[in-house]
Amino acid sequence: MMAAFSVARSSCGLFSGLRVSFRSLAHIKYGAAAAAAASPQTPLPPDCRRYSVSHLSVRERIEQKRKAALIGGGQKRIDAQHKRGKLTARERVELLLDAESFVETDMFVEHRCSDFGMEQDSNKFPGDSVVTGRGRINGRLVYVFSQDFTVFGGSLSGAHAQKICKVMDQAMTVGAPVIGLNDSGGARIQEGVESLAGYADIFLRNVLASGVVPQISLIMGPCAGGAVYSPALTDFTFMVKDTSYLFITGPDVVKSVTNEDVTQEELGGAKTHTTVSGVAHRAFENDVEALLNLREFFNFLPLSNQDPAPVRECHDPSDRLVKSLDTIVPFESTKAYDMLDIIHAIVDERDFFEIMPNYAKNIVVGFARMNGRTVGIVGNQPKVASGCLDINSSVKGARFVRFCDAFNIPIITFVDVPGFLPGTAQEYGGIIRHGAKLLYAYAEATVPKITVITRKAYGGAYDVMSSKHLRGDVNYAWPTAEVAVMGAKGAVQIIFRGKENQAEAEAEYVEKFANPFPAAVRGFVDDIIEPSTTRRKICSDLEVLASKKQVNPWKKHANIPL
Amino acid sequence: MAVYRQAVLLDRLLFAVKYAPCQSRGCAVDPRAQYSTAASLNEKTFDKILIANRGEIACRVMKTCKKMGIQTVAVHSDVDSSAVHVKMADEAVCVGPAPTNKSYLNMEAILEAIRHTGAQAVHPGYGFLSENKEFAKRLVADGVTFIGPDTHAIQAMGDKIESKLIAKAAKVNTIPGFDGVVKTAEEAVKIAQQIGYPVMIKASAGGGGKGMRIAWNDEETREGFRFSSQEAASSFGDDRLLIEKYIDNPRHIEIQVLADKHGNALWLNERECSIQRRNQKVVEEAPSTFLDPDTRRAMGEQAVQLAKAVKYSSAGTVEFLVDSKKNFYFLEMNTRLQVEHPITECITGLDLVEQMIRVAKGYRLQHEQKDIPINGWAIESRVYAEDPYKSFGLPSIGRLSQYQEPLNLSNVRVDSGIEEGSDISIYYDPMISKLVTFGSTRAEALARMEDALDSYVIRGVTHNIPLLREIITHPRFISGDISTNFLPEVYPDGFKGHQLDVESRRELLAAAVALYITSQLRSQKILGDLRVSSAPMESSCWELCVELGEGQHHVHVIKSGNVYTVEADGGKVEVCGQWNLASTLLPITVNGADRMLQCLSREASGTLVLQYMGTLFKLQILSKRAAELNSYMPEKVSEDTSSILRSPMPGTVVAVSVKPGDTVAEGQEICVIEAMKMQNSLTAAKPAKVKSVHCKAGETVGEGDLLVELE
């Protein structure tokens, strides 16, 4: 009897739309009964089954479980999470998705471990340590999982993995991106190999989904051990400054194995991964900023490889002339300028979402829009290391180009490259192998490719940077372009070896090659354009290239020089 | 205030200096009167003129040359090779590397350029070689005409003491004072008593306000004598001292004169230049609200007397200090075209550059004194690339990533020498432009200035528009109650930007949330056929939380069509506008009143930077729920600035006074940074030991660069 009454009494609970609880559903469906239940004498609702007087009804149990699922590890742990400057798994989902768009799955899933006292009711949490489901970002479909640090430190149980796999499978069948919000202490040690199996299940799905739907990881807490490989397999990994870590082994293990003293932050913090290792693509100040930026970022992406690059309503005229570009390239070919200035001036509304802004800064990559359509932008950065290609910049560029190609995003390349960086460090590090990745990525890409040579395009690097020879669709040169095998000085030393008047020879070489004509007369560039018209031309080219169809020869998969 | 008007019929020759005559927005002044001039087209002057200057003044001179059919030659330094004045000229010659003493002051190279191009005359503009008698002499020796007065006048007026003596002789009011060798402190006191306190004491040879001391009594005079005589001997090797009446709260009013080589001279009315910072003018106007016709005539006539006394020819400016009782005292004469000459052109209709060229060729003046009108009112704001929040303006540098002058407005003239994409470098004056507005009344000219400042788009460098707009809307300025101490008096604690009151804050909040919602709604507008249908949020009502400065504001918004009804801080505001998210300018209507805002940045995190009433405001807009959650986000600790010394501006390190391990006292000089003719001493914020020094003398540093760390 008591149990039934408690249902009735608590039927007026108010919940926000996101957290649609069974209570409020019950309230609507059984409104009449609930209203009547105000007095204890009222009979029970007819479908309120009881197994015995001393047990809860199913309805009560459903409600209780939902309620339990909503508070995860409990208020104390939620407070602790907040104290660390972190949001809870559900709060994160709420911020990431459009209001009231979250549809949760597997709220009732619980872990199945019966060792080490885990089978006790007090150790069971409905939904376990992850929140999963689907929702909308700016109206567009997305699948999400958000690890709940308040439940066993967000550790990965078999059930936890199974929940993630389920949304990934659904995302694949529907063709929609997957966003993972990672905040997990690692494997559920109590479950042993089951947990490891769970990781592998996720890894496999990450790999199968790769190139089919965009996958994004946002690291919002610890992510250590084998767990790191899931973010590593996804297309983009973002981090939150000061509260997130990624490492294979933590500082303690590092100390015991290599005797290195290192803090978590130094070993695998946001700064390390966005500037030194290149593991993460960008870092944000805090949870709120990270999630809001993720919403913005999501808007650049197509839902899957079956969709074209999205076109958003655009207020920036596609035929806008950009006068400032006519003077941006300095007269002295050794003087630097900022490639970002060119990019900002050309793209819609100066809106450029840079990927890896603090890693391998000699190449700039990121997303922007041209007349509303998402494009991927790659540019050599003369401001840093003269914009040369080295190991890190090649790999950064290659991965970005391949993402764009996989998801039908046109690639616009701004070239000012003096060549590959020479030296033992680069050669020993395998610049040949790594440089080949960028070459490979550009060559295999079948999306629209537009190239603008702003200044130098020297040597092999010229070939690599989306040249005509690698099936560039439209290749432009600015009047300041110099396409040549190498700079004047080096060339003269070879061509005119031993000649007395090197300066004169150099001048001759410059006259001959330090201009766009050698490439233009051979048709290696399609046109020499005024820099101020670049935006107008690219917008119009993209319009035409939207229907580009190009297919590579059939293969099981290509063999990029990893 | 008497507006001095004379109906004068001028021959019409529309002289449009970047002036768009379209769109007459409620100004009754006949635009022809602003720039017309009485020049006869048939006068033959020169075939080719070299302009020995850069930037806006070079462009200004070239415009008149083009109008007169004269070929122009620009000189430039290597970094200026694609500058506007170079593109504008028919020919251009590079005269050296960036530092001015190697290029624009490089007489040899400029003389060579003249020979090479065959220019018959040189216009020096202002600054650089414009008042250099040596340069003028050498030109004459080479048979080239110097467009300016002859060397005698330059020399006479260039010397402070000589110019005063000449002025005295020409019966021009001079500040009572004594100039010469003062032997003892008692002698100084005697002189001071004769003049009457307060007095100013300084070394004769020192320029400007350098080493100036003010004494209000005998004791202070003795002290001032001691300092100044020491300084005179040690810094200048010239014992002479200047003791003169100190004018408290003076106005700086100057008279434009124009004279020919035949002994004729005119005064072209005054310019009020009292709004200054560090002796540099910021806002000027013509005429002055302060002068009555009699004072004006008296000043004008004395200015002409002085010009005649030195056989002056060309355009020149006689500067006066005017005290509160309208006593005026001669200060100095500038023997060149002044920066602020456009406002005189606006009210008189004369093209001063054209007159200078004519006079240089030997033609007589075309006007008589009675022909010189005051037509309406003109105001000039000097738009500088500098940060007005740091002692009313410390230079800033950068590339003008976006630049748009408010030329769509009528009665606006912008004299500039830069364009979108130009670099403002540490080598030259940080002036971006001179923004001039005019109207038939002062109120009209001021209202137009407000509009023009609001519509002026400058991105890539920090600029002083916030300060300019505050000045021209300040009640004291509007009432004409100004002096050279205006800025320190009005902003005793430094300039802090526009201060919002409840109403204007609400207006800003409303504009910001409307822009935010527009951008949020636009994010959902994905075009084309979608494989997976979209489910945009249909909403016409929002609860938002806006952080602005220290305060948090809960804002309720209802949208219907283009109109946003915003409830904030207990009041309601209605805003509507075009909401073009690509546009830098945001013309909106707030409660029926037109406003021009500018959006500088719009970030995914809800951060918005808006220029409102000239000042930049940073706001963060979040949904109510996001704001709730945001309260859990930790405050990130910013670095302890007291132990870190960063460069407040880009420039060159002149001297580093400390080395690691040194102990410094609070306020002790650590290093000196020089930028754009200005030296800045950086001092320790607390007593400490120097931990590390990251700069050395001669190095170039950027704004915010770490210079010295303290422990």
> Using one digit for the tens of pLDDT, what is the confidence trace for A134-165?
999 999 999 999 999 999 999 999 999 999 99
**Which of 237-276 (A) contact B at CB < 8 A?**
242
Contact flag A292-B630 (C-beta cutoff 8 Å): no
Whether chain B has a CB inside 8 Å of the CB on A319: the answer is no
Contacts of A329 in chain B (CB under 8 A): none
The mean of the pLDDT values for chain A is 88
Number of other CB atoms surrounding residue B18 within 10 Å: 16
Query: Closest Cα partner for B404 from B447, B438, B451, B455?
Result: B455
Contacts of B582 in chain A (CB under 8 A): 314-317, 348-349
| Amino acid A23: pLDDT | 38
| Amino acid B610: pLDDT | 96
User: What mean pLDDT is predicted for residues A265-289?
Assistant: 95
B304: in domain? yes
Give me the half-sphere count of Cα atoms (radius 13 Å) on the Cβ side of residue B259.
Answer: 29
Instruction: Pick the residue of B401, B586, B637 with the most A CBs within 10 A to test the interface with A by mutation.
Output: B401
User: What mean pLDDT is predicted for residues A281-288?
Assistant: 96
What CA–CA distance (Å, rounded) separates B207 from B239? 15
Residues of B contacting chain A (CB within 8 angstroms): 81-82, 399-403, 419-422, 522-528, 530-532, 534-537, 580-583, 604-606, 622-623, 625-626, 629-630, 632-634, 636
Highest-confidence segment of B5-14, B81-90, B571-580:
B81-90
| Amino acid B550: pLDDT | 86
Verify that B602 and B549 share a domain, yes or no.
yes
What CA–CA distance (Å, rounded) separates B191 from B221? 10
Contact flag B524-A174 (C-beta cutoff 8 Å): no
**Which of 125-184 (A) contact B at CB < 8 A?**
136, 138-141, 174-176
| Amino acid A335: pLDDT | 83
Among partner residues B81, B422, B582, which is closest to A348 by beta-carbon distance? B582
Chain-centroid distance of CA B215 in Å reads 31
User: Phi then psi for B527, rounded to 5 degrees?
Assistant: -90, 170
Catalytic residue positions of B, numbered: 336
Whether chain B has a CB inside 8 Å of the CB on A43: the answer is no
Residue A506 or residue A538, greater confidence: A538
pLDDT-derived band at A37, boundaries 50, 70, 90: very low
| Amino acid B230: pLDDT | 76
Nearest-CA distance from A35 to chain B in Å?
A: 31
Structural domain span for residue B367:
150-175+250-375
**Which of 416-455 (A) contact B at CB < 8 A?**
none
Radius of gyration of chain B (CA): 28
Contacts of A310 in chain B (CB under 8 A): 526, 528
Is pLDDT above 50 for B141?
A: yes
B14: in domain? no
CB pairs under 8 A between A and B: 129
| Amino acid A87: pLDDT | 97
Verify that B299 and B361 share a domain, yes or no.
yes
Is pLDDT above 60 for B187?
A: yes
Residue of A nearest to B402 (CA): A324
Verify that B272 and B418 share a domain, yes or no.
no
Nearest-CA distance from B49 to chain A in Å?
A: 26
B2: in domain? no
| Amino acid B624: pLDDT | 94
Whether chain B has a CB inside 8 Å of the CB on A314: the answer is yes
Contact flag A91-B629 (C-beta cutoff 8 Å): yes
Instruction: Pick the residue of B87, B425, B524, B624 with the most A CBs within 10 A to test the interface with A by mutation.
Output: B524
Can you state the angle between helices B218-231 and B185-195, rounded to 10 degrees? 120
> Using one digit for the tens of pLDDT, what is the confidence trace for B340-371?
999 999 999 999 999 999 999 999 999 999 99
Nearest-CA distance from A82 to chain B in Å?
A: 6
B257: in domain? yes
CATH number of residue B181's parent domain: 3.30.1490.20
What CA–CA distance (Å, rounded) separates B517 from A294? 18
Verify that B170 and B304 share a domain, yes or no.
yes
Across A41-60, b (16+ Cβ under 10 Å) vs e yields: eeebbeebebeeeeebbebb
CATH number of residue B675's parent domain: 2.40.50.100
Reduce the DSSP state of residue B588 to 3 states and report it: strand
Q: Which of B245, B264, B285 is the last residue in one of the domains? A: B245
* Cis peptide, bond prior to residue B287, ω within 30 of zero: yes
Instruction: Pick the residue of B605, B620, B631, B638 with the most A CBs within 10 A to test the interface with A by mutation.
Output: B605
Verify that B66 and B129 share a domain, yes or no.
yes
Contacts of A288 in chain B (CB under 8 A): 605, 622, 626, 629-630, 633
Verify that B351 and B432 share a domain, yes or no.
no
What CA–CA distance (Å, rounded) separates B438 from B445? 4
Contacts of B530 in chain A (CB under 8 A): 307
Flag the least confident range among A203-207, A303-307, B275-279.
B275-279
Q: Which of B420, B453, B483 is the last residue in one of the domains? A: B483
User: What mean pLDDT is predicted for residues B634-639?
Assistant: 76
Query: Closest Cα partner for B84 from A324, A386, A337?
Result: A324
Number of domains in chain B: 6
Q: Where are the alpha helices (DSSP H) in A72-143?
A: 75-83, 89-96
For B661, the token pair is 């391990």
Contacts of B525 in chain A (CB under 8 A): 312-313
> Using one digit for the tens of pLDDT, what is the confidence trace for B399-415?
999 999 999 999 999 99
What CA–CA distance (Å, rounded) separates B112 from B640? 55
User: What mean pLDDT is predicted for residues B607-614?
Assistant: 95
| Amino acid B649: pLDDT | 75
Verify that B210 and B96 share a domain, yes or no.
no
Contacts of A341 in chain B (CB under 8 A): 399, 401
CATH number of residue B611's parent domain: 3.30.700.30
pLDDT-derived band at B40, boundaries 50, 70, 90: low
- The answer to whether residues B206 and B235 touch, using CB atoms and an 8 Å cutoff, is yes
B126: in domain? yes
B398: in domain? yes
Verify that B339 and B410 share a domain, yes or no.
no
Contact flag B527-A372 (C-beta cutoff 8 Å): yes
Contact flag A316-B421 (C-beta cutoff 8 Å): no
Contacts of B528 in chain A (CB under 8 A): 308, 310-311
pLDDT-derived band at A53, boundaries 50, 70, 90: low
Nearest-CA distance from A293 to chain B in Å?
A: 5
Q: Where are the alpha helices (DSSP H) in B174-332?
A: 185-195, 218-231, 293-309
- H/E stretch holding B106 reads none
Flag the least confident range among A245-254, B143-152, B216-225, B328-337.
B216-225
Question: Which positions ≥6 away from B636 have C-beta within 8 Å?
Answer: A242, A285
* From A175, A211, A226, A429, active-site residue: A226
Is pLDDT above 50 for B6?
A: no
Verify that B621 and B569 share a domain, yes or no.
yes
Contact flag B626-A344 (C-beta cutoff 8 Å): no
Flag the least confident range among A289-298, A543-552, B170-179, B455-464.
B170-179
* From A211, A278, A460, A490, active-site residue: A460
| Amino acid B396: pLDDT | 86
Contact flag B581-A331 (C-beta cutoff 8 Å): no
Q: Which of B194, B224, B245 is the last residue in one of the domains? A: B245
For the purposes of burial, counting CB atoms within 10 Å of the CB of B227, is it exposed (0-12), middle (13-18) or buried (19 or more)? Answer: middle
Verify that B274 and B338 share a domain, yes or no.
yes
Q: What percent of chain B has pLDDT over 90?
A: 61
Residue A115 or residue B441, greater confidence: B441
B32: in domain? no
Verify that B161 and B254 share a domain, yes or no.
yes
CATH number of residue B447's parent domain: 3.30.470.20
Instruction: Pick the residue of A286, A328, A347 with the most B CBs within 10 A to test the interface with B by mutation.
Output: A286
- The answer to whether residues A542 and A473 touch, using CB atoms and an 8 Å cutoff, is no
Q: Where are the alpha helices (DSSP H) in B524-619?
A: none
pLDDT-derived band at B13, boundaries 50, 70, 90: very low
Rounded to two decimals, the pTM is 0.85
B457: in domain? yes
Nearest-CA distance from B77 to chain A in Å?
A: 13
> Using one digit for the tens of pLDDT, what is the confidence trace for A460-504?
999 999 999 999 999 999 999 999 888 777 777 777 777 777 778
Is pLDDT above 50 for B1?
A: no
Contacts of A323 in chain B (CB under 8 A): 419-421
Verify that B165 and B186 share a domain, yes or no.
no
Flag the least confident range among A270-279, A340-349, B16-25, B48-57.
B16-25
Contact flag A286-B401 (C-beta cutoff 8 Å): no
pLDDT-derived band at B12, boundaries 50, 70, 90: very low
Among partner residues A136, A138, A323, which is closest to B421 by beta-carbon distance? A323
